Chains A and B, each alone.
Chain A
Amino acid sequence: MSLAATDIEARAVLFRTCFGQLKTEIGRVFVGQPSVVEQLLLCFFCQGHALLEGPPGLGKTLLVRTLSDALDLQFARVQCTPDLMPADITGTQLLVEGHDGIRSFEFQRGPIFANVVLADEINRATPRTQAAFLEAMQERRVTVFGATHRIDEPFSVFATQNPIEMEGTYPLPEAQLDRFFFKIRIQVPDIDDLAEIMVRTTGEQSVRVSTQFGADTVLSLFSLIKQVKIADSVLRHALHLVRATHPESPEAPPIVKKFVRYGASPRAAQSIVLASKATALLAGRYHVATEDVASVAVAALNHRIIRNFTAEMERVTPEEIARGVLASAPAL
């Protein structure tokens, strides 16, 4: 066995360790819903962006904040409001005076240049401001006054939105939604989790998380994830899932033909494959299996499926449609 293979094995072990430690640290603050934490971490290690959706008070902001606390990374929080301007996110040119008394414009970086960005209640920002996130999320760079500024890696945007309060909000356009790696739905905790939350938050001692690792480790692990192998048959299985979300495609199951107006983009396939690779590493494998694809497909597809009027009238959720697509996929 070559040295590189040994190195890969060591990094794979490191990945599993880091993932476990982060999960444990987050679990000390964020009670319950381990699948939500796993999806968030997968998204982070795959250098994707996540949209967390849930009613108020379920700990969406706390979850992301805890993640940033557990990492030795730059963290920025943007509280989105209707009067938030794009420059408040990307930064702007400021007139500054140098030591020699000469005044010049200098680019003042906005919060988007942090490693982990929390865009709280992103649907309260105006479309213009939301669009400011677009280039940053996809291209990982910002163009201000004609000058392009690269964003440091690792970079992830975690946005939250409240699906209940729709007044005064600006729903994210499909193009914006497509840029999110996962859409993670946070559920109301059960009574045991609620009791644990009460114990932790109403007691005398407050829980603090410890910093685990920094940017280099994250980038190294991201590089490792990309090296994981995927067989052609498994890849085609993932692509089949994406194709099946399009009602006009022959692979589409009846639920898609009935309830979907437009299906997932190739970005969905990218998300599925990348997240599957990370899942495979977590399972101790160096290759992707179909169960890895199945475990991440719903989170990658549900915000990319655009329902038609019938689905909205019959209250068929995109998640149900994504599960229908997964169930109808032929076995390998």
Chain B
Amino acid sequence: MSDSRRPAVSVVAVLGRFQRRLRLVAFVKTLPLSVAVAAAGALAVARIAGLPPTVTAIALLVGVLAATLASAAIARRHTGLGRTAAAVDRRFGLSNRIATALECRGHDDAMSALVVADAEAALCLRRPQDVPFEAPRHLVWIATLFAAAVAAFVLVGEPSTAREQLAPSEGVLGGSASASPANAKRTAASPAAAASASDANDTARRSMPAAPNDRGQRVESPQAASTNETADRLPGASSDTSSASERGGESRNPPGANTTQTTRPNGANSARQGGRDGAASADGSSRSQAPAGRGGAGTSSDVRATTDAAGGVRGTSTPDARASGDTLRAGARASDLTPAARWDRAESALAREHLPFEMRKYVRDYLVAIRTGSRP
């Protein structure tokens, strides 16, 4: 019986328009909550992990994108044809007309045809635009959550500005940042470790006589321990330098000794992790495996490898650094590159590292200060 089937298609077609509208309404309704949650989560993760602004922005973007997709998925999931029919019935007071017609479509009996025709007539009088957008529920709570997240992000970020007040000459790359309270909190696995990280700060600062532009003295001095730590963050020196820092910065390692393959007191893997995790691993206590780590003293060979890999400052590199560094994997020895290429390589290596903004700025300033063209 084609007469009864024909209107059913029409009802479904009209209902499809309402379905799209309801999806849009549901999307708009759920979007603020999901975006607020995602943004707050991204900010929290960024703050806890000490991500730089660029990465934080990316995390925010990804979070918002994911929230948008989630809202779209939710809106799509909750607006099937049946739900759409029920919603339209409820919205326009149609007394279950559309829901019944949807079930009657395709039936051959005359009563079904009447029901479908009745629903079609009722739907013709309504437009999808008549379905208004709804304010999301708990909008106040959503706004409060988001505001709290932003405020927490801003306020928690305040203490790090204290590090910016340190004079550039006060410490080379790792000193101040590596033992910052935030990093100590992040990397310390125990209160004792956190305390040792804090001690490392003091030790590192005390053992940091070199000025940023005093390249030769600082990087080669066994006392410039925390250089190792920060340089550890640069590509090309990850495993070696971190293992050096894992050894606790005892300052007893002879300068120039390549200790990468020789001694790894408490597990090289953890040392590598500690080197990546943050500057607080300067004392090797980030994994609670390097006892009595103090100062983050490294070895000159490590430093050479690091600086070499990061930008070829020294012009030499150890085999280990070459083996593990991204830069060296790219091909040429750093010493073979032009100063500009070295600088670009250092820049890119620095950009890949997850460093706090202040730390990144500090390292960059340092590199600017020590590059060939900037020397007085």
Instruction: Give the B-binding residues of A (Cβ under 8 A).
Output: 1-2, 4-5, 7-9, 227-234, 283, 285-291, 331-332
Contact = CB atoms under 8 A, between A and B. Distances in A.
A288 B3 contact: no
Contacts of A287: 95-97, 100-101, 104, 115, 118
Given A2-B3, A287-B96, 6 more contacts: A231-B102, A285-B97, A286-B114, A287-B101, A289-B95, A289-B96
Nearest to B114: A286
28 contacts: A1-B3, A2-B1, A4-B109, A4-B110, A5-B111, A5-B114, A5-B117, A7-B110, A9-B114, A227-B109, A227-B111, A229-B103, A229-B104, A230-B100, A231-B96, A233-B99, A234-B100, A286-B111, A286-B114, A287-B95, A287-B101, A288-B100, A289-B97, A290-B96, A332-B86, A332-B89, A332-B96, A332-B99
B95 to A, nearest CB: 4
B103 A232 contact: yes
Nearest to A289: B95
B184 interface: no
A233 B86 CA distance: 9
Contacts of A4: 109-110
Nearest to B89: A332
A289 to B, nearest CB: 4
A234 to B, nearest CB: 5
A229 B96 CA distance: 11
A332 B90 contact: yes
Contacts of A227: 109, 111
A5 B110 contact: yes
Contacts of A331: 90
Contacts of B101: 287
Contacts of A2: 1, 3-4, 110, 113
A231 B104 CA distance: 8
B286 interface: no
Interface of B: 1, 3-4, 82, 86, 89-90, 95-97, 99-104, 109-115, 117-118
Nearest to A228: B111
**Leading 10 A-B pairs by shortest Cβ distance:** A289-B95, A4-B110, A287-B100, A5-B110, A231-B100, A289-B96, A231-B99, A286-B114, A227-B111, A286-B115
Contacts of B113: 1-2, 5
Given A2-B4, A286-B118, A8 B95 contact: no
Contacts of A290: 95-96
A285 B117 contact: no
A239 to B, nearest CB: 15
Nearest to A227: B111
A291 B90 CA distance: 12
Contacts of A232: 103
Question: Do most interface residues of chain B lie in helix, strand or loop, or is the interface mixed?
Answer: helix
Contacts of B114: 5, 8-9, 286
Given A229-B100, A287-B100, A1 B117 contact: yes
Nearest to B94: A289
A153 to B, nearest CB: 22
A31 B101 CA distance: 40
A5 B111 CA distance: 6
A26 to B, nearest CB: 27
Contacts of B99: 231, 233-234, 332
Nearest to A284: B118
B114 to A, nearest CB: 5
A285 B86 CA distance: 17
Contacts of B102: 231
A8 B111 CA distance: 7
B110 A8 contact: yes
B104 A291 contact: no
Most buried by B among A8, A227, A228, A231: A231
Contacts of B115: 229, 286-287
Given A1-B117, A4-B110, A231 B3 contact: no
B316 to A, nearest CB: 76
Contacts of A233: 82, 86, 96, 99
Nearest to B103: A231
Most buried by B among A5, A228, A234: A5
Contacts of A229: 100, 103-104, 111-112, 115
Contact of B96 (A1, A7, A9, A288): A288
B109 A234 contact: no
A332 B89 CA distance: 10
Contacts of B90: 331-332
A3 B97 CA distance: 22
Contacts of A289: 95-97
A228 to B, nearest CB: 7
Tell which of A2, A8, A287, A331 has the most Cβ of chain B within 10 Å: A287
A292 to B, nearest CB: 8
B118 A285 contact: yes
Contact of A234 (B4, B96, B118): B96
A246 to B, nearest CB: 25
Nearest to B107: A229
A281 to B, nearest CB: 11
A125 B37 CA distance: 71
A8 B118 CA distance: 13
Candidate in A7, A227, A331 with the most chain B CB atoms within 10 angstroms: A227
Contacts of A234: 96, 99-100
A288 B118 CA distance: 13
Given A2-B3, A332-B86, A285 B111 contact: no
B118 to A, nearest CB: 6
Contacts of A285: 95, 97, 118
A234 B112 CA distance: 16
Contacts of B97: 285, 287, 289
A228 B97 CA distance: 12
